[in-house]
Structure 1
Amino acid sequence: MKTTKTILSIIVASTLLTACDGDDGAAGANGIDGTNGVDGSNGLNSLVTVTELAVGSEQCAFGGQLIETGLDVNANDILDADEVDSSQTQAVCHGAAGQLSAQLIGRYESGVFGQSAAEIVDFHKASQHIFVINAQSGQVDIIDGRGLIADTVAPEQQYTLNNLAKVAQIDVATDLGLAHLGGVNSLAIYDDLLAVAIERGDGQGNSKQANGFVAFYQLDSQAQPSLVKSVEVGVLPDNVVFSHDGSKVIVANEGEPNDAYTLDPQGSVSVIAVTNGVPADVASSIGFSDFNQGQARHDELSDKIKINGPDATIAQDLEPEYIAVAQDNRQAYVSLQENNAIAVIDLEQLTVVSILPLGLKDFGLLENAIDASDKDDAINIQAYTGVFGMYQPDTIASYQWNGANFIVSANEGDARDYSGFSEEVRADDLILDPNHPQFAAAQDKTQLGRLKVTTSMGDTDGDGDYDQIVAYGGRSFSIWDTSGNLVFDSGNQITRITAAVLGKNFNNHNEESKGDSRSDDKGAEPEALAIGEIGGKHYAFVGLERTSGFMIFDISNPFAVQFIDYVVNRDFSVEFEIDGEDISGTPELAGDLGPEGMKFIAAKDSPTDSPLLVIGNEVSGTTAVYQLTL
């Protein structure tokens, strides 16, 4: 849906009605004045009230003012609700709070839906080609970006635009020639060196529980790849990044258990040195075994970090998900999504500095209010005392302000839900403490009953019932300092903005158009994230995995963040359903579904000489390119 925002200027004039004396009597025929008339009754004051509208309000998606007028009937100098003349009420809406705009200029359709055909993306500056993870195929697609031009795409063409071409692909598994290689999970490019992470099975029926590899390719001026080498890393390499100077490749090895939860490998971080563009043959491994029970650093581990795998050590339970590198390249920050924590890694000493607990977000605060039900047939955003969310970030990034490093997180949320172990239930399945403030609401499917929650947290007094209801994800994006202190959180802005812009389509699913179908399960699910600097300002681009589209925030000052825009290229009127390989309806007409990965391209590197944002959309299998303009 394309949404047009305008700024409306309204001038409201009010008139004060005052009492008037009766007219003097007219002079009689004999020249004598008549008697004075009776004084008229006092008139009524006309009052005006101006109410500030927050971003995401029902009347104004981007905030503004509500101007109400009426007569002060009870003469109390206050415009009461029953005195408001609704026919004269007007809303003065702000436009996007800033100058930055995003325009779709390029798009590639793979034609593959629901099969992770477009996930993580990166850009090769020398050849101006886009590299896209085609995850389940075990390949990397190469898309020609040289033809990108700063041309406006008509709104009716945006959902089906297909003006970019795939020119080649890399079959990583074939190139490496090793048995049991599986899906590719991540890629990164520095200069002409491409790094691709690929998982590997153990040959015993466990598809991704053996050590994975990072394959390195040299790219020429036409984006043609030549395999340089492969380097063994940890189990299930899920994210790979270069340091800002290209001297290191850092890999988050998630170490995810098998479905039966009979095999739970250790999570770890691998670091591969790169010297003069040549990667080392062997990776250095950074693990978490020092934090195991009885080991030297166990007491450092906060009890706010979720550790809940059955019979798992700390090292097995911690699951590195995504990596951000500090601007000075001295530290890396690693999201431990399932554990609701971030690990800080010393890239010089190759050690774990600390594991930062992220704590719980209080959904009982008005600014954090949520819609918790997919069965209420309404937008029903409420604050629930005693209900909390784990932040559980997926993608994280880092930037500097006043010389200090800050971590930005997209707080998607994730549950451990396997055949051999599951922590996920609905709130109405919990045995709540009878004194819990939501005891009744948790049994109501139109309120909290449908909310997906964990059974691994919430019994604070250990008596067997739950004193807190703890859900997955913050439904927000956050900024943290490097000690784990929360500097900023977007609260429920994402919920309120999507509700205001999309109406009944907010909290939609990315595999079908079914309206409010994800309120019970992490909402819009902010997952993808990129940071870009434009015109001396830092912007965060936050992709909404389920509802689709992305939001732009000015984060130049982490203590004064501003919402800028919500951009969504999805037609919610198109009916479709994607269930694995079973597809019905016409998803090819629906636009972009499920943003998974993002790449910001600076103007100096862009084929259009303007900044670009490249997005891999997992469910629609599309790669979209937006031009960013001040």
Structure 2
Amino acid sequence: MHKRLLLALMISAALGCKKNDNKGPLPEPDFFVNEDAKTFAEIGTIDIGETGAAEISAYDPDTKKLFVVKNEGEGTAAAVNRIEVIDFKDPSKMTIIGNISVQPFGGVVNSLSVHSGKLAAAIQATDKTSNGKVVVFKTGDHSVISQINVGALPDMVTFSPDGKFIMTANEGEPNASYTTDPEGTVSIISVAENYAVTTLNFSSMAGQQNALMQKGFRVFGPSATFVKDIEPEYVTISADSKTAWVTLQENNGIAKIDIPSKTISNIFPLGFKDYNTDGNEIDPTDDDKAYAAAKWPVKGVYMPDAVAVMESNGTPYLFTANEGDAREYDTFAEVKRVKDKTVILDATKFPNAADLKKDGKLGRLNITTTLGDTDGDGDLDELYSLGARSFNVWNGSNGTLVFDSKNELDKEAVKAGVYDDGRSDDKSVEPEGITTGTVGRTKVAFVGLERADAVAVYDVSNPASPVFLQMLKCGDAPEGVLFIPAKDSPTKKSLLVVSSENDGVVKVYTPNTI
């Protein structure tokens, strides 16, 4: 019996080896560190420049390098346009070890993404209304792999999770005089097909313009056409690399894109937020030197900047940072204060108009003049401010609102002593960057607050009911919010990298283990 058993084991082992040889090595179990998501603390900082430096960061786990956008002195003879390369082996002792100049490729570099030893950089043209480029470098020696022409003003670039595609949101902003307004587009680059590119405009959705605008989508520039007025801002891609979502910030919408067919399948208009309801109270004035939230007859236009997707129970959830962004050009500026003499409030809808226009009331609040005249008689029947002073969760399949943080970001910023009352009249804490990740067993969202100089951390294990965990102070005007999972981290612990564009400071945070 012993010999038979031994023979059976030998045969089984031989068969097992043969099967494994055919399919490659057996997968290792997922890397896991038991971490406490509410205990992030700073472990490292580096200053790489002044205003315009440290806008966006990307990390390469193969070389343990951190790549950081550095744009300083734009439009001057002393302008610096390059990618700073940082040794990230020890995040507590970061050092600059080189740089990659982007001047040979055009104008300013706006965004970075890394996958499998490749660094993709989104670079706008010297004339931002002309088509820009994605340049792909090797992360090892920084040599150029490919240069790909994309649409005008590529503002964000990202690899798909499987590394097979690179996508850019090409904002297509007009020139200062608004005489040239390029199409807003999205580019899909196929890595395996020698970086072949397909650039999509939004002409296929133009027939839906009226229906979309009735639900809060905006098309409003001078002599605007649907295709030219759309301004893609940020891209996120599903875990299976088949679906992308693109924020259309100025337009107050999110586009859904089918990557395999390279088609725009839907646009979700985002509607508006009512500041006259419980939980949505705002402080609309910047001259009271205090946070004084109350209900006001004003609506917020969500207008998200960054977006991140997290899937739960088969549903894709989109997390958006609702920054808001005004169009302000030499010949067209949409924003005015409520107290401006040219802002006329409808006497029926606002019987207390004179009181509302006072500085201590709504007088100093910045609003858009492109919305609110519902009956076309020249006065405003409704008031709309830009942004929503919050982050949202949307259903990525149908665009329905799942969660809004209401005014919690303001309140938590006040508690942490980082609220800037000087921004109450505009977009408050100004949520701009957002990313998600898993810390230990907890799904987490990190929300960068540009005007509070802080990052809010939330437990989003239940996407319909996120729970605030902590507020992290950072550099001046955080733009890039990068999460590095423990399995890719040089410390083998989760890391949060925050890059701030107003002071060039990059900070790194990590949680405690349990």
TM-score, normalised to structure 1's length? 0.72
Report the CA distance shift for 1:383/1:229 in structure 2 as closer, same or farther (over 3 A): same
% identical equivalent positions:
39
Q: How far apart in 2 are the matches of 1:424 and 1:533?
A: 39
Q: 1:126 aligns with which of 48, 62, 65?
A: 62
Q: 2:43 aligns with which of 92, 98, 105?
A: 105
User: Which residue of structure 2 aligns with residue 57 of structure 1?
Assistant: none
User: Which residue of structure 2 aligns with residue 472 of structure 1?
Assistant: 386
- Secondary structure of 2:415's counterpart equals helix
Shift of 1:379: 1.8
- Secondary structure of 1:214's counterpart equals strand
Shift of 1:113: 2.3
User: Which residue of structure 2 aligns with residue 360 of structure 1?
Assistant: 272
Does 2:315 correspond to 1:432?
A: no
- Secondary structure of 2:491's counterpart equals coil
Does 2:107 correspond to 1:182?
A: yes
Q: How far apart in 2 are the matches of 1:440 and 1:565?
A: 41
Shift of 1:281: 4.2
Shift of 1:439: 2.0
User: Which residue of structure 2 aligns with residue 552 of structure 1?
Assistant: 457
2:346 is matched by which residue type in structure 1? D
Report the CA distance shift for 1:559/1:414 in structure 2 as closer, same or farther (over 3 A): same
2:399 is matched by which residue type in structure 1? G
User: Which residue of structure 1 aligns with residue 97 of structure 2?
Assistant: 167
Report the CA distance shift for 1:343/1:99 in structure 2 as closer, same or farther (over 3 A): closer
Shift of 1:417: 0.8
- Secondary structure of 1:291's counterpart equals helix
Does 2:228 correspond to 1:316?
A: yes
Instruction: Judge conservation of contact 2:37–2:439 (CA < 8 Å) in 1.
Output: no
Q: 1:213 aligns with which of 102, 111, 133?
A: 133
Shift of 1:300: 5.1
- Secondary structure of 1:598's counterpart equals strand
2:124 is matched by which residue type in structure 1? E
In structure 1, stretches of 5+ residues that fail to align are: 1-97, 150-162, 202-206, 508-515, 570-591
Q: Report the RMSD for the aligned CA atoms in angstroms.
A: 1.5
1:549 is matched by which residue type in structure 2? A
Q: What are the Cα deviations for residues 240-274 of structure 1, in whole angstroms up to 9, with x where unaligned?
A: 00111011001100000001101000000000001
Residues 525-544 of structure 1: matches in 2 within 5 Å?
525-544=430-449
Shift of 1:291: 3.5
Q: How far apart in 1 are the matches of 2:422 and 2:289?
A: 10
Shift of 1:147: 2.1
Shift of 1:138: 1.9
Shift of 1:297: 4.6
Q: How far apart in 2 are the matches of 1:441 and 1:350?
A: 53
1:248 is matched by which residue type in structure 2? F
Residues 418-429 of structure 1: matches in 2 within 5 Å?
418-429=329-340
Residues 421-570 of structure 1: matches in 2 within 5 Å?
421-429=332-340, 430-437=343-350, 439-482=353-396, 483-502=398-417, 506-507=419-420, 516-569=421-474
Q: 2:327 aligns with which of 416, 438, 456?
A: 416
Does 2:158 correspond to 1:241?
A: yes
Instruction: Judge conservation of contact 1:291–1:301 (CA < 8 Å) in 2.
Output: no
Q: How far apart in 1 are the matches of 2:438 and 2:155?
A: 26
2:137 is matched by which residue type in structure 1? Y
User: Which residue of structure 1 aligns with residue 143 of structure 2?
Assistant: 226
Q: How far apart in 2 are the matches of 1:506 and 1:625?
A: 22
Report the CA distance shift for 1:431/1:563 in structure 2 as closer, same or farther (over 3 A): same
User: Which residue of structure 2 aligns with residue 32 of structure 1?
Assistant: none
Instruction: Judge conservation of contact 2:132–2:150 (CA < 8 Å) in 1.
Output: yes
Shift of 1:380: 1.1
- Secondary structure of 1:367's counterpart equals coil
- Secondary structure of 1:613's counterpart equals strand
Q: What are the Cα deviations for residues 180-232 of structure 1, in whole angstroms up to 9, with x where unaligned?
A: x210001100010110010113xxxxx31100000011122xxx311112000
Q: How far apart in 1 are the matches of 2:137 and 2:62?
A: 15
Q: How far apart in 1 are the matches of 2:265 and 2:211?
A: 11
Report the CA distance shift for 1:340/1:298 in structure 2 as closer, same or farther (over 3 A): closer
User: Which residue of structure 2 aligns with residue 193 of structure 1?
Assistant: 118
Shift of 1:369: 0.6
Shift of 1:456: 0.5
Shift of 1:495: 0.9
Q: How far apart in 2 are the matches of 1:525 and 1:468?
A: 22
Residues 285-364 of structure 1: matches in 2 within 5 Å?
285-292=199-206, 296-298=207-209, 301-303=212-214, 304-364=216-276
Q: How far apart in 2 are the matches of 1:460 and 1:329?
A: 42
1:198 is matched by which residue type in structure 2? I
Shift of 1:358: 0.5
Q: What are the Cα deviations for residues 80-129 of structure 1, in whole angstroms up to 9, with x where unaligned?
A: xxxxxxxxxxxxxxxxxx8521111111112x322x10011110001111
Shift of 1:435: 2.5
2:110 is matched by which residue type in structure 1? N
Q: How far apart in 2 are the matches of 1:225 and 1:535?
A: 34
Q: What are the Cα deviations for residues 496-541 of structure 1, in whole angstroms up to 9, with x where unaligned?
A: 1112221xx522xxxxxxxx21100100101111111112221000
- Secondary structure of 2:290's counterpart equals coil
Instruction: Judge conservation of contact 2:285–2:424 (CA < 8 Å) in 1.
Output: yes
Shift of 1:132: 0.5
Instruction: Judge conservation of contact 2:186–2:232 (CA < 8 Å) in 1.
Output: yes
Shift of 1:285: 1.0
Q: Which is worse superposed, 252-261 or 128-137?
A: 128-137
2:442 is matched by which residue type in structure 1? K
- Secondary structure of 1:342's counterpart equals strand
Instruction: Judge conservation of contact 2:37–2:442 (CA < 8 Å) in 1.
Output: no
Q: How far apart in 1 are the matches of 2:492 and 2:195?
A: 38
Instruction: Judge conservation of contact 1:343–1:356 (CA < 8 Å) in 2.
Output: yes
Q: How far apart in 1 are the matches of 2:195 and 2:490?
A: 35
Q: How far apart in 1 are the matches of 2:210 and 2:304?
A: 24
- Secondary structure of 2:346's counterpart equals coil
Q: How far apart in 2 are the matches of 1:264 and 1:125?
A: 39
Instruction: Judge conservation of contact 2:102–2:108 (CA < 8 Å) in 1.
Output: no
Greater RCO, CA 8 A, separation 6+:
2
* Structure 1 ranges of 4+ moved more than 4 A: 296-300
Q: What are the Cα deviations for residues 370-405 of structure 1, in whole angstroms up to 9, with x where unaligned?
A: 111011232211111x30000110010001111110
Instruction: Judge conservation of contact 1:411–1:474 (CA < 8 Å) in 2.
Output: yes
Residues 148-159 of structure 1: matches in 2 within 5 Å?
148=91
How many matched pairs?
A: 466
User: Which residue of structure 2 aligns with residue 605 of structure 1?
Assistant: 488
Residues 85-104 of structure 1: matches in 2 within 5 Å?
100-104=38-42
- Secondary structure of 1:616's counterpart equals strand
User: Which residue of structure 2 aligns with residue 375 of structure 1?
Assistant: 287
Instruction: Judge conservation of contact 2:153–2:172 (CA < 8 Å) in 1.
Output: yes
Q: How far apart in 1 are the matches of 2:45 and 2:415?
A: 27
Shift of 1:547: 1.4
Instruction: Judge conservation of contact 2:37–2:444 (CA < 8 Å) in 1.
Output: no
TM-score, normalised to structure 2's length? 0.88
Shift of 1:173: 2.2
Q: How far apart in 1 are the matches of 2:289 and 2:483?
A: 38
2:81 is matched by which residue type in structure 1? G
